[in-house]
Structure 1
Amino acid sequence: MNFAQLLLPDFSLILCGYLLCRFTPLARPTWDQVETLVYFFLFPVLLFQSIARTPLDVGAVSGLAAAGLLLGLAGITLAYSLPWWPGLRHVDRREHAASAQVAFRFNSFIALALSERLAGAQGLQLIAVLIGVCVPLFNIGAVWPMARHAQTGFFAALVRNPLIIATFAGLACNLLGLHVPGWLDPTLNRIGAASLALGLMAAGAGMQFGHLAQAKALAVGVLAIRHLLLPLVAAGLGFALRLDPTQRAVLLAFSALPTASSCYVLASRMGYNGALVAGLVTLSTVLGLASLPFALGVLR
C-alpha cells in the first residue's frame, strides 16, 4: 500500500492554504471567515453523515468497540499527563490545553480511505464503529481542558460545540434506525468534500512554524503519543481482546492515523494558539507516513 500517495492530498491542501495566505491577497481575514464556515456548518454536517449512514451491528463488533474506547481513554490519559512528564513540568498550560487533542484525535477522511483499502466494505463498517464510539469521547476530551483553562463552563462549552452536537445527533439517528433520504446524499457528500478541503487549507493558512520552535518539548510529547505509543497500545489491546485479523488491522490503522485537521479549527475558535496546533497537524500528517507502515507492517 502506498501510504505516501494516501497522505499527499491532505499535506498538499495544507501547503496550498499556507501559500495562499502568505503570498496572495487571500490574507488572514479571509481565512477567519473560512474557519467560521467550517467549524459551524461544514464539519458538523460531515460528522453527522459519517456516523448516521452506516448501521452499527453492536453484537458482532463489541470487542472492537471496547478496544476503541480503551485506546481512546489511553490516548486522553497520556495527553492529559504530559505536564508531569520529565522535561515538560514547566510547559505553558494553555498551550498544553490546546495541543492535547492532537495526541488522540484522528483524520477520519484518511481513516475511511485506508480501511476500505485494507478490507473493502467490511473495513468501512469496522472503521464506522470506531468513529461512532470514539468521536464523542474524543470531542469531549478535546473541549474539556480548553473550557477549563478559558474559565468557561465545561457543559456549556459542550452544549454549544457544533461538532459534539453533530456527533450525538448522528449516533441517535443511527441507533434509532433513522436514515438520511437518498436524494439528499449527493448534497451532503459535496459538503463533506468541501469541509475536508477548506479545513485543511485553513489549517495551512494559520500555520506558523515558529510557534513549534517555542514548544519543542510539548510537540515531541504530543506527537510521540499519537504516532508511537498509541500503536503499541493498540497492538496490546488487539492481542488481549483476541480480535480477528481484520478487526486487529483496522484498529492498528486507526491508532496510527494522522491527527484531525479540525484540531486547528477547534483551538482557534475557542481562543487558543491555533498556529501552534496547525503546525502540529502538519507534522502529524507527515509522521503518518512512518507510523502507518510501522503499525500495519511491523506491529501487525
Structure 2
Amino acid sequence: MFSLLLPDFTLILLGFLVCRYTTLGRPVWVAVEQLVYFLLFPVLLFQSITRFSLDVSAASQLIAAGLALGVVGIGMAWGLPHLPGLGRHLEVRSHAAAAQVAFRFNSFIGLALAERLAGPQGLQWVSVLIGVCVPLFNVAAVWPMARHGGHGLLRELVRNPLIVATASGLVASLSGWHLPAWIEPAATRIGAAALALGLMSAGAGMQLGSLSQARALAASVLAIRHLLLPLAAFALAVTLQLPHIQATVLLIFSALPTASSAYVLAARMGYPGGYVAALVTLSTLLGLLSLPLALELVRRL
C-alpha cells in the first residue's frame, strides 16, 4: 500500500517544498493551477473516457454505485446543520463553503492510483465515475453558495471545463468515436503533465493557518470524506456485487482527498477561501490514512 501511494504523495510534498522554499512561489502555482484546470485536465478526462467504447451495460452498476455514494455524501454534508448539538455551532456561510469538502474529490490522485492498480481499464472506470459525478458534485457544491451569495447556478456550471470535457467525452464514447491516431500521443503527454502538475499544485496550495475557525465543522466534513464514505462504498460494492476492478475503483474513489479546486471555487464566489484551503490541506494529509483503509477494504471483498 505504501509503495502505491508514495509516488503521488511525493509529488504533493515536492509541490509544497518548491512553493515554500524556492523562488517559484504562490503566484507561479496559481498560473499552473489555471493551466491544469482549464486545459490539461479536461484533455486527460476526454481522452480517458474515449480511449475505449463505453459499454453502458457493463458500467451501469458502477455508475449507479458512484451516484448513490455521491448522494449519500451530499446528504450527510447538507444535513450537518440539522444534527442535534452540532447545528447551532455552524455558521451559515462557513457551512455553505465547506460542505463541498465532504463529497468532492481530487481527480488527479484518483486517476493516478486507478491506472497504477488496474491499468487502462481502471483508468476508464474512474474516468466514467468522474464523468457522471462531476456534474452532480459541482451542482451540490455551487448551489449552497449561490443560494446564500446571489450567484447564478447555471452560469457557474456551464463555465466549468470539467463538466464540458466529461459530458463531451461520454457522448463521444457512447457514439463510438475515438481520438485520431495522429493526435493520441500528444493527448497522452498532456494527460501525464496534468497528473504531475495537478498533484504538485495540490501540495503548493496547502495551508493550515485558518483551521482554528469552525473546528466542529472541519471535523464533521472530514469525517464524512475520509471515514464514512469509504464504509458506504464498501457496503455498496458488497450489495451490488461489483466486479473486482470496479469495486477497487469505487473504494479508491470514495477515499480520495477532497478537490484541490474547492478553495478556488469558494474564494471566487466570495466565501472564506483560506478556511476551505486549510480543509483541503488537511484532507490531502488524511488521504494517507483513508486510501490505505480503502485498499484494505478491497482486500476483504
CA deviations 1:215-243 (Å, max 9, x no partner) are 32222111111111112211222233233
Corresponding residue of 2:6: 8
Which of residues 40, 48, 52 is equivalent to 2:46? 48
Corresponding residue of 2:167: 168
Query: What is the alpha-carbon distance in structure 2 between the residues aligned to residue 268 and residue 199 of structure 1?
Result: 19
Moved over 6 A (4+): none
Unaligned runs of 5+ in 1: none
**SS of 1:213's equivalent?**
coil
Query: What is the alpha-carbon distance in structure 1 between the residues aligned to residue 9 and residue 145 of structure 2?
Result: 26
Query: What is the alpha-carbon distance in structure 2 between the residues aligned to residue 216 and residue 251 of structure 1?
Result: 29
Identify if the C-alpha distance between structure 1 residues 11 and 118 changes in structure 2 by more than 3 Å, giving closer, same or farther: closer
**SS of 1:251's equivalent?**
helix
Q: CA deviation at 1:184?
A: 1.7
Contact 2:42 2:161 in 1 (8 A): yes
Identify if the C-alpha distance between structure 1 residues 278 and 13 changes in structure 2 by more than 3 Å, giving closer, same or farther: farther
Query: What is the alpha-carbon distance in structure 2 between the residues aligned to residue 127 and residue 28 of structure 1?
Result: 30
Q: CA deviation at 1:26?
A: 3.2
Identity of aligned residues (%): 65
Q: Would you say how many aligned residue pairs link Structure 1 and Structure 2?
A: 298
C-alpha root-mean-square deviation of aligned residues, in Å? 2.7
Query: What is the alpha-carbon distance in structure 1 between the residues aligned to residue 108 and residue 214 of structure 2?
Result: 28
Corresponding residue of 2:277: 278
Corresponding residue of 1:58: 56
Q: CA deviation at 1:268?
A: 4.1
Aligned residue type for 1:44: P
| Aligned 1:164-243 pairs, distance under 5 A | 164-243=163-242
Identify if the C-alpha distance between structure 1 residues 91 and 182 changes in structure 2 by more than 3 Å, giving closer, same or farther: farther
Query: What is the alpha-carbon distance in structure 2 between the residues aligned to residue 267 and residue 45 of structure 1?
Result: 24
Q: CA deviation at 1:58?
A: 0.9
Contact 1:140 1:164 in 2 (8 A): no
Which of residues 41, 54, 65 is equivalent to 1:67? 65
Aligned residue type for 2:188: N
Query: What is the alpha-carbon distance in structure 1 between the residues aligned to residue 215 and residue 56 of structure 2?
Result: 42
| Aligned 1:154-165 pairs, distance under 5 A | 154-165=153-164
Query: What is the alpha-carbon distance in structure 2 between the residues aligned to residue 194 and residue 121 of structure 1?
Result: 17
Identify if the C-alpha distance between structure 1 residues 252 and 143 changes in structure 2 by more than 3 Å, giving closer, same or farther: same
Identify if the C-alpha distance between structure 1 residues 251 and 16 changes in structure 2 by more than 3 Å, giving closer, same or farther: closer
CA deviations 1:150-196 (Å, max 9, x no partner) are 31110111112222222222222222222222222232233333333
Contact 1:263 1:277 in 2 (8 A): yes
**SS of 2:126's equivalent?**
helix
Identify if the C-alpha distance between structure 1 residues 198 and 272 changes in structure 2 by more than 3 Å, giving closer, same or farther: farther
**SS of 1:279's equivalent?**
helix
Query: What is the alpha-carbon distance in structure 2 between the residues aligned to residue 207 and residue 241 of structure 1?
Result: 37
Corresponding residue of 1:142: 141
Query: What is the alpha-carbon distance in structure 1 between the residues aligned to residue 41 and residue 118 of structure 2?
Result: 26
Identify if the C-alpha distance between structure 1 residues 54 and 132 changes in structure 2 by more than 3 Å, giving closer, same or farther: farther
Q: Report the TM-score, using the length of structure 1 for normalisation.
A: 0.85
Identify if the C-alpha distance between structure 1 residues 100 and 60 changes in structure 2 by more than 3 Å, giving closer, same or farther: same
Identify if the C-alpha distance between structure 1 residues 197 and 142 changes in structure 2 by more than 3 Å, giving closer, same or farther: farther
Identify if the C-alpha distance between structure 1 residues 31 and 126 changes in structure 2 by more than 3 Å, giving closer, same or farther: closer
Aligned residue type for 1:191: I
